[in-house]
Chains A and B, each alone.
Chain A
Amino acid sequence: MSDTIDNATIDTVAALAEGGYKWGFSTDIDMEMAPVGLNEDIIRLISAKKNEPEWLLEWRLKSYAAWLKTEEPDWAMLHHDPIDYQALHYYAAPKKKAGPKSLDEVDPELLKTYAKLGIPLKEQAYLAGVEPAEGERPQIAVDAVFDSVSVATTFRDQLSKVGVIFCPISEAVHSHPELVRKYLGSVVPAGDNYFAALNSAVFTDGSFVFIPKGVRCPMELSTYFRINAKNTGQFERTLIICEDGGYVSYLEGCTAPQRDENQLHAAVVELVAMEDATIKYSTVQNWYPGDANGVGGIYNFVTKRGACRGDRSKISWTQVETGSAITWKYPSCILQGDGSVGEFYSVAVTTNHQQADTGTKMIHIGKNTSSTIVSKGISAGQSNNTYRGLVRVLPKADNARNFTQCDSLLIGDQCGAHTVPYIEARNPTAKLEHEATTSKISDDQLFYCRSRGLSQEDAVGMIVNGFCRDVLKELPMEFAVEAQKLLAISLEGSVG
């Protein structure tokens, strides 16, 4: 490990440390922001700030034009105050924040992760943004760029050896423009929906992943290591391309509660899987849900879609959503290739006044395609939780198979669980199965657990995790362990 630490490294992980794991906000803010409002000038500003090529600016402007022509959708079972799109900042340079005084002040979880990566203590301090003593290198304002992350240094070498590209999309635009240009918007075009159009016009940054032919990505890729996660929260754009025979497992999010002053999060994620390729995309989301009255929480309006372009390709979405005031997303799979497979595993928890309208779309186009949907909705408090799913089999999609299981668990008697399944089968050889259950955690179950020594909280956690097991077992291990804890925590106090 070299003695000189990359400036950007400090920046990047300082961003992670304070943005991801601390609740409070520093008061000495030094920020450069565009004026509020959205118009062509703002978009040109964003594009210019990122030094984007002309084609990308054009793409943004076309998307903006499409957005202007679209109306905000209101068909979901969600209620929120109208969003004033002209009152948002669409560009903000990173802020400088007061950092921790020593490693003792840094979230121990963060330090554990550094330790796992074999990063020595001194570097940990820099990474965590610990303020240096007098005379030492001053802390630099966050202006995160990915490729200098020393956190990532240890595994970046492995990635580049096999030709895997994992970098911010803003960087990919410059380093691999032909790839970005070819695939951006190919799965979620700007005209797809209101929020996709908005995102396409003003997206800030996100992940770009490229897996070359036949390569099994040697490690799970995580947004934790992708820098300026803090800045891209609002309009994140992610593009993952997996060539023939490739494999990648991508983890998005983290269990630590993420607070952000930007209320609207309208991300777009596009996945492209070629022949015999597999993309596994896991999300654990715990955005700030608002206070007990639901005020101030984040609106998570996301468009996620995977195209199984190649024969026998496979895309699986696994999500554990416990945060956000409103969750509105339908990670979907377009099963174009023959024999392609789409999967959706979801646990969505709503408590207090949270709302969720989430589910998936499986579009069967090729022959012998199959899809699996397992959705577990848990409602507590006065929340509302809706599963909305579409299984569509097109006329030429011979021998399509789908299995759908959507289960709702109600805790208490003031919450709501709704299921809105759509099934469209236009090919007579399709075999579609749909099962749905609604249940409550019974007093008998709780008492049974308690009579064996478990506390009420532990009993609820155990029963809920049992309920969600089919989904949780699809998560990569570290995520699964954290997700279980997260589930238990998010339901604390909801029973009794």
Chain B
Amino acid sequence: MLEIKGLTAEIGGKQILNGLDLVVPQGEVHAIMGPNGAGKSTLSYILSGRPGYDVTGGTATFNGVDLLELEPEERAALGVFLAFQYPVELPGVGNANFLRTALNAQRRARDEAELDAPSFLKLARAEMARLSMPADMLKRNVNVGFSGGEKKRNEVLQMAILKPKLAILDETDSGLDIDALRIVAEGVNSQRGPEFSALVITHYQRLLDYIVPDRVHVLSAGRIIRSGGPELAHELEAHGYADIVASAA
């Protein structure tokens, strides 16, 4: 369970999160929507531990563990996974090598047995088949020369292999065509279960047709101003943010 209470945060001295409260019970998928500049990406970076963001108040715990005290790699070992909005390229670093090293680093941190290369490949190929990803993706360098859609699919592949407990998807749907969208959604949905929670950050209702959320929250000016069931997303699609933002001010 993810529990955020009164979170305030700045970047470069500028206050972005203004007392954010959010609870995502275990096994649920919650959507975060909101106007640009609301703080959605900031929230995702703070939860995953990106340097440069200063938490000035409040708490964020995952299964009772204080997330904000941990290094990024420690949060990963705990089961936090961020699917980046703009995945970065790692020249010369093979995708398979990267994934296996990451997976084994997490397993080591959790005192689990590491996977050898053949076992890893077996696992990776199985996941890729399920996600209809071409086998050669493993041979390429991480995100190098990948189209936008391929990068997003690579994020979902990483998620499928690392099997996180809390996945944060930062605008995973941007830049995807319908088919890619379905594949990504399938990748997320196939993880769903009692051990899996997710925060899906998106602008558009469309993704939520495929990844049906348990709850939808509207984030504006650094706070959650409205929460509801999946129908809230339809309402936003129909009317936009203006009314909701205005009534919360």
Looking at the complex, which of A52-60, A176-184, A187-195, A453-461 is the stretch in contact with chain B? Answer: A453-461
Complex alpha-carbon distance, A468 and B92, angstroms: 7
Looking at the complex, which of A17-25, A72-80, A242-250, A440-448 is the stretch in contact with chain B? Answer: A440-448
Q: Which of A453, A455, A458, A469 has the most CB of B within 10 A?
A: A453
| Chain B contact residue count (CB 8 A cutoff) | 31
Q: In the bound complex, do residue B88 and residue A448 qualify as a contact, i.e. CB atoms below 8 Å apart?
A: yes
Indicate with 1 or 0, residue by residue over B138-158, a CB within 8 angstroms of chain A CB atoms.
Answer: 000100000000000000001
Q: In the bound complex, do residue B105 and residue A458 qualify as a contact, i.e. CB atoms below 8 Å apart?
A: yes
Query: Could you tell me the distance in whole angstroms from the C-beta of B100 to the nearest C-beta in chain A?
Result: 11
Residues in B66-103 with C-beta less than 8 Å from chain A? 71-73, 75-77, 81-82, 84, 87-93, 98, 101-103
Query: Could you tell me the distance in whole angstroms from the C-beta of A184 to the nearest C-beta in chain B?
Result: 40
Looking at the complex, which of B4-12, B43-51, B209-217, B227-235 is the stretch in contact with chain A? Answer: B43-51
**Of A447, A453, A469, A470, which contacts B102 at CB under 8 A?**
A453
User: Is A450 interfacial (CB-CB < 8 Å)?
Assistant: yes
User: Is A161 interfacial (CB-CB < 8 Å)?
Assistant: no
Chain B residues with CB below 8 A from A468, complex form: 92
A466-B90, A466-B92 are known contacts. Are A447 and B72 too (CB-CB below 8 A)? yes
Complex alpha-carbon distance, A452 and B51, angstroms: 15
Give the nearest-CB partner of A447 in chain B.
B50
A455-B105, A469-B92 are known contacts. Are A450 and B84 too (CB-CB below 8 A)? no
Chain B residues with CB below 8 A from A450, complex form: 49, 71-73, 76
Query: Could you tell me the distance in whole angstroms from the C-beta of A488 to the nearest C-beta in chain B?
Result: 12
Complex alpha-carbon distance, A454 and B108, angstroms: 11
User: Is A467 interfacial (CB-CB < 8 Å)?
Assistant: yes
Q: In the bound complex, do residue B98 and residue A462 qualify as a contact, i.e. CB atoms below 8 Å apart?
A: yes
Chain A residues with CB below 8 A from B90, complex form: 445, 448-449, 462-463, 466
A445-B88, A463-B90, A470-B92 are known contacts. Are A451 and B49 too (CB-CB below 8 A)? yes
User: Is A70 interfacial (CB-CB < 8 Å)?
Assistant: no
Query: Could you tell me the distance in whole angstroms from the C-beta of A275 to the nearest C-beta in chain B?
Result: 36
User: Is B106 interfacial (CB-CB < 8 Å)?
Assistant: yes
Residues in A125-171 with C-beta less than 8 Å from chain B? none
Q: In the bound complex, do residue B162 and residue A452 qualify as a contact, i.e. CB atoms below 8 Å apart?
A: yes
Query: Could you tell me the distance in whole angstroms from the C-beta of A332 to the nearest C-beta in chain B?
Result: 26
**Of A445, A447, A448, A466, which contacts B141 at CB under 8 A?**
A466
Chain B residues with CB below 8 A from A444, complex form: 88
User: Is B65 interfacial (CB-CB < 8 Å)?
Assistant: no
User: Is A494 interfacial (CB-CB < 8 Å)?
Assistant: no
Query: Could you tell me the distance in whole angstroms from the C-beta of A345 to the nearest C-beta in chain B?
Result: 14
Query: Could you tell me the distance in whole angstroms from the C-beta of B192 to the nearest C-beta in chain A?
Result: 21
Query: Could you tell me the distance in whole angstroms from the C-beta of A22 to the nearest C-beta in chain B?
Result: 31
User: Is B23 interfacial (CB-CB < 8 Å)?
Assistant: no
A447-B50, A466-B141 are known contacts. Are A452 and B76 too (CB-CB below 8 A)? yes
User: Is A465 interfacial (CB-CB < 8 Å)?
Assistant: yes
Complex alpha-carbon distance, A447 and B48, angstroms: 9
Residues of A in contact with B, size category: 20 to 34
User: Is B109 interfacial (CB-CB < 8 Å)?
Assistant: yes
Q: In the bound complex, do residue B88 and residue A453 qualify as a contact, i.e. CB atoms below 8 Å apart?
A: no
Chain B residues with CB below 8 A from A466, complex form: 90-93, 141
Complex alpha-carbon distance, A196 and B49, angstroms: 55
Q: In the bound complex, do residue B93 and residue A462 qualify as a contact, i.e. CB atoms below 8 Å apart?
A: yes
Q: In the bound complex, do residue B50 and residue A452 qualify as a contact, i.e. CB atoms below 8 Å apart?
A: no
Q: In the bound complex, do residue B162 and residue A448 qualify as a contact, i.e. CB atoms below 8 Å apart?
A: no
Query: Could you tell me the distance in whole angstroms from the C-beta of B108 to the nearest C-beta in chain A?
Result: 9
Query: Could you tell me the distance in whole angstroms from the C-beta of A468 to the nearest C-beta in chain B?
Result: 7
Query: Could you tell me the distance in whole angstroms from the C-beta of A376 to the nearest C-beta in chain B?
Result: 10
Chain B residues with CB below 8 A from A449, complex form: 90, 98, 102
Chain A residues with CB below 8 A from B71, complex form: 450, 455
Query: Could you tell me the distance in whole angstroms from the C-beta of B12 to the nearest C-beta in chain A?
Result: 14
Complex alpha-carbon distance, A458 and B104, angstroms: 12
Q: Which of A444, A452, A462, A463 has the most CB of B within 10 A?
A: A452
Query: Could you tell me the distance in whole angstroms from the C-beta of B66 to the nearest C-beta in chain A?
Result: 18
Residues in A411-463 with C-beta less than 8 Å from chain B? 442-445, 447-456, 458, 462-463
Chain B residues with CB below 8 A from A442, complex form: 88
Chain B residues with CB below 8 A from A463, complex form: 90, 93
Complex alpha-carbon distance, A216 and B144, angstroms: 39
Query: Could you tell me the distance in whole angstroms from the C-beta of A291 to the nearest C-beta in chain B?
Result: 30
Q: In the bound complex, do residue A451 and residue B72 qualify as a contact, i.e. CB atoms below 8 Å apart?
A: yes
Q: In the bound complex, do residue B141 and residue A452 qualify as a contact, i.e. CB atoms below 8 Å apart?
A: no
Complex alpha-carbon distance, A63 and B241, angstroms: 85
Give the nearest-CB partner of A376 in chain B.
B92
Q: In the bound complex, do residue A452 and residue B102 qualify as a contact, i.e. CB atoms below 8 Å apart?
A: yes
Q: In the bound complex, do residue B101 and residue A458 qualify as a contact, i.e. CB atoms below 8 Å apart?
A: yes
Q: In the bound complex, do residue A448 and residue B109 qualify as a contact, i.e. CB atoms below 8 Å apart?
A: no
Q: In the bound complex, do residue A454 and residue B105 qualify as a contact, i.e. CB atoms below 8 Å apart?
A: yes
A–B Cβ pairs within 8 angstroms, 19 of them: A442-B88, A445-B88, A448-B87, A449-B98, A450-B72, A450-B73, A451-B72, A451-B73, A452-B73, A452-B162, A453-B105, A455-B71, A456-B73, A458-B105, A463-B93, A465-B93, A466-B90, A466-B93, A466-B141
4 additional A-B residue pairs with CB within 8 Å, beyond A453-B106, A455-B105: A442-B88, A445-B88, A453-B102, A466-B90
